[in-house]
Structure 1
Amino acid sequence: MDKKNLKDSIRRELKEAAKDIVRLGGWQDFRSGDWVFRLIERTFRRKSESAASESIFAKYPGHTHEQIAHKLIGAASKKAALAGAITGAAVSADELVALFTAGEAGVGLPANMAIAAIAICAEVFYTAKIQLEVVAELGNLYEIALDPDEPEDILTILNFALGGAIADLAGNRLMHMGPQFSKAVVGRYYAKKEAFETVKRLARKLSYRLVRRSVANAVVPGVSIFVGAMWNRRTTKIIGRTVVRHFSLRQQSANRTEPDAR
């Protein structure tokens, strides 16, 4: 796909993301952070179904794990960068109405501000979706299963796919979550419920931070295009490389233990 067609595709997907935000309840409800869990569940379910029907190696015949990972990360980084640039250009040039409402006329300033808020949320949502997808794809590549029904795996997904900022937000709280995740089977339901509540609180804080960062990137005229693109590309590459290192080590560890198990 050439750059123009890719941009057009991303514009369409950003519009769909904006519709998702409206369905979630708009700017006010988006800040609650609950969208994170719905997006994680939807993304990993779809990628799991896709992996079951088609091997990722079939798409890249003759490529090594490392080569495929490089291609996946590169494609995701490019899409994330273009999404940041498109939203930054719209905010900078006051073209949000044309971008997200197909050019409806007569929109006053308050409406423009509301559209700007939805556009920024859509960019956060869409970028998070790209990053979640690359984590899921890399998991399929390295045969590492991450279950969105398990709080341990949600924490891993949040940490990888949303910029690694979860550690900053959690602080020492993460250090004390291990016992919650490893309680006896008898108390499993209650342990999981308690763990989910803890992870949800972290996700809400993380969601707020992501939105605040995107707003800061978008509000400086003439700079937001570059900043949005650069930040999205950089964070997506870092996420991808971190995931590859983590999954490679897990795969190596699993391979070493297999002979012992036999």
Structure 2
Amino acid sequence: MSHKLQVGEMKAAYLTDKEIWGHFNYIFSSKSKNSTTYKFVLIKSLLENLYNVNDKLELNYSSLYSSFAKIYWNLVIHHNLNQINMTDKRAEVQNILLNIQSKYQLPETVVFDRLSAEIQVEIINKVKKKCKINVMGAIYGDTGCTIYDFDNQKEQLRMNSTVYSFMLRFQRVLNYLTNYHLALFLEKFNEKGDTTNLLLKVENVSRGHPLINFIKCYPLFITGSVFTAERLLRRKMLTWIILSHGVLFRLTSSGI
């Protein structure tokens, strides 16, 4: 099974935008096995690290899982949100973070950035050790073995150049989509608020632009009164636009 792979090689060097959107739509759909929030948080972590790759589009796991650990700490400890699709169990990363919280007697009000450097390093290393075993191969498998190469022994991945370009161009949209589907997952297995409230919490766990800015842009997509890059986005891509009250609308151009 792909989630158990320790090394993965890309099976396609070039992908069209439509093919890449198809992969992300699959991850966000019920066809993808999402028993925890790992995949959503990994996508958010990749988006946060697009500018940390080298000239070969390689990214080390320390940078990747620094973002991953920060997001998870703030979801699990600061917001006390369950991350698995069973209310009577915890995801393995949850247990790691809760054990560290107990070990150092840390209050839930402490966000990741306020932790000491030593504790942050301990968290990142433990999360990286646990997650690289399953998480890297899971996204790799869901995208048809095309999104990146990865090597868990070297603790490094290499982005597909067309996927990397795509994620740069649609970084904000992908971030909103991931936040939304992460919030939907959390709503099902937590008793703390509805999707709208959870979206606000999800957005606050890592850096990014407020969802409200994206919501305000929606009328411009409808009228076409936006700059050229956004018009191309509207005409060419198949994606989800997030509106207020947790409603999703699929925008498709006549050419798709």
> Relative contact order: is structure 1 or structure 2 higher (C-alpha 8 Å, sep ≥ 6)?
1
TM-score for the superposition, normalised by structure 2: 0.28
Structure whose residues are more often strand by fraction? 2
Structure whose residues are more often helix by fraction? 1
Specify the structure having the higher radius of gyration (Cα): 1
TM-score for the superposition, normalised by structure 1: 0.28
